[in-house]
């Protein structure tokens, strides 16, 4: 992982990512660039600096984000602002019960002139894809998106099409109207690097939002601060951040703790995600090595949604927090109890 940009590591990488990783930027430059993006996004998104960072971390670590939120708190705006900032494309898919997989991936259309089938890409072909209310679509459609997330490619009628790079999916789940929804199974939740929620802004933030939005919405004149090509190099820099044995071991022990203290703990995929996110976090701070501190910062958003508790445990733990927060409690416990070495 640490040397993913070297030729040997490239060959060992999965074929789907066979396209050459661009040269890594120096760490300071990459960090500065990311900060610029963050600042740019924060011009539009008020009061969610942390969440913006989380989304950027996911983007840098080539992961995807599940936003669990009430409607109307700026999810779309966040996704769009990020896309704009890196000069990337942005597409939004509103998942509905009648949405078909091809509505996500695109279809082959017969061209009368050329008398050939022509691939018309779906909304998934964008740098930032917002899958809104993903739990409203039937599982088959959900899985079309999830395949794209995992493979960074889409297969339609036997032909494989790569999605653009960088590629990140920000999916939202509507948790307030649980009826007529298809809740994501844990196996699919696992594919999201992070689960975060924006939550309501406080009074000051809300009045600032109104202040900004009345008149011309700032998103309209949001300019890119970096091109996708350079952002790709920042992603390469992230992949090159050192993860020493001590940190890897710490991550493993955290995962093991969750497995020992919950019905379903963190999967190896979760551990890998944690390490990648920690790399991005270190890079964000301009450090070319991961500290346990980075792991601790990332663990709650990266690990919580991968944990399932028995109904009684969930009840017992949820009394301390909000309902359904059992996974977060377990992670918090792990962070307190698993010794840092």
State the residues that interact with another protein by CB under 8 A: 242, 244, 246-247, 288-293, 296, 334-340
Minimum CB separation from another protein for residue 278, in Å? Answer: 11
For another protein, the closer of residues 175 and 242 by Cβ is 242
CA-based nearest residue to 341, from 243, 259, 253, 280: 253
For another protein, the closer of residues 153 and 242 by Cβ is 242
Q: Secondary structure of 113-177 in the HEC alphabet?
A: CCCEEEEEECCCCCCEEEEECHHHCCHHHHHHHHHHHHHCEEEECCEEEECCCCCEEEEEEECCC
Minimum CB separation from another protein for residue 178, in Å? Answer: 34
User: What CA–CA distance (Å, rounded) separates 67 from 64?
Assistant: 10
Minimum CB separation from another protein for residue 331, in Å? Answer: 11
Minimum CB separation from another protein for residue 293, in Å? Answer: 5
- The residues, any chain, with a CB within 8 Å of residue 281's CB and separated by 6 or more, are 57, 290, 294, 297, 298
Minimum CB separation from another protein for residue 212, in Å? Answer: 35
For another protein, the closer of residues 152 and 288 by Cβ is 288
Angle at 320 between CA 318 and CA 321, to 5 degrees: 65
What long-range pairs does 318-326 form, CB within 8 A, spacing at least 24? 326/262
Minimum CB separation from another protein for residue 161, in Å? Answer: 40
Minimum CB separation from another protein for residue 291, in Å? Answer: 5
Beta strand extents in the chain (DSSP E only): 65-69, 90-94, 106-111, 116-121, 128-132, 153-156, 159-162, 168-174, 194-196
Bond before 166 cis per omega within 30 degrees: yes
For another protein, the closer of residues 127 and 296 by Cβ is 296
For another protein, the closer of residues 72 and 339 by Cβ is 339
In DSSP terms, 170 is beta-bridged to: 65, 130
In DSSP terms, 110 is beta-bridged to: 117
Minimum CB separation from another protein for residue 308, in Å? Answer: 23
Q: Quick count: other Cβ atoms within 10 Å of Cβ 181?
A: 17
For another protein, the closer of residues 161 and 248 by Cβ is 248
For another protein, the closer of residues 172 and 296 by Cβ is 296
Helix (H) or strand (E) holding 80, with range, is helix 75-85
In DSSP terms, 185 is beta-bridged to: none
For another protein, the closer of residues 242 and 252 by Cβ is 242
User: What CA–CA distance (Å, rounded) separates 43 from 225?
Assistant: 12
């Amino acid at each position: 992982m640490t040397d993913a940009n070297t030729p040997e590591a490239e060959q060992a990488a999965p074929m789907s990512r066979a396209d050459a990783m661009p040269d890594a930027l120096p760490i300071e430059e990459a960090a500065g660039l990311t900060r610029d993006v963050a600042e740019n996004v924060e011009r539009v998104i008020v009061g969610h600096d942390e969440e913006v960072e989380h989304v950027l971390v996911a983007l840098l670590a080539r992961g995807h984000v599940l936003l669990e939120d009430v409607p109307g708190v700026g999810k779309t705006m966040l996704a769009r602002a990020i896309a704009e900032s890196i000069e990337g494309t942005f597409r939004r898919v509103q998942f509905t019960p009648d949405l078909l997989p091809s509505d996500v991936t695109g279809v082959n259309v017969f061209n009368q002139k050329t008398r050939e089938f022509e691939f018309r890409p779906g909304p998934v072909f964008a740098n930032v894809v917002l899958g809104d209310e993903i739990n409203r679509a039937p599982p088959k459609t959900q899985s079309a998106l999830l395949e794209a997330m995992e493979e960074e490619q889409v297969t339609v009628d036997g032909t494989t099409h790569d999605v653009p790079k960088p590629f990140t999916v920000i999916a939202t789940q509507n948790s307030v109207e649980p009826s007529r929804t298809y809740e994501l199974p844990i196996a699919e939740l696992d594919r999201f690097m992070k689960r975060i929620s924006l939550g309501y802004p406080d009074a000051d933030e809300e009045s600032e939002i109104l202040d900004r939005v009345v008149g011309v919405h700032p998103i309209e004149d949001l300019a890119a601060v970096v091109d996708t090509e350079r952002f790709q190099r920042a992603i390469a820099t992230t992949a090159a951040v050192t993860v020493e044995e001590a940190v890897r071991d710490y991550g493993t022990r955290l995962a093991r703790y969750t497995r020992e203290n919950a019905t379903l703990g963190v999967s190896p995929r979760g551990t890998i995600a944690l390490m990648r996110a920690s790399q991005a976090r270190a890079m964000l701070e301009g450090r070319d090595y991961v500290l346990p501190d980075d792991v601790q910062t990332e663990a709650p958003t990266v690990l919580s949604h991968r944990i399932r508790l028995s109904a009684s445990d969930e009840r017992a733990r949820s009394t301390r927090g909000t309902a359904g927060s059992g996974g977060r409690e377990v992670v918090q416990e792990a962070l307190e109890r698993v010794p840092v070495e």
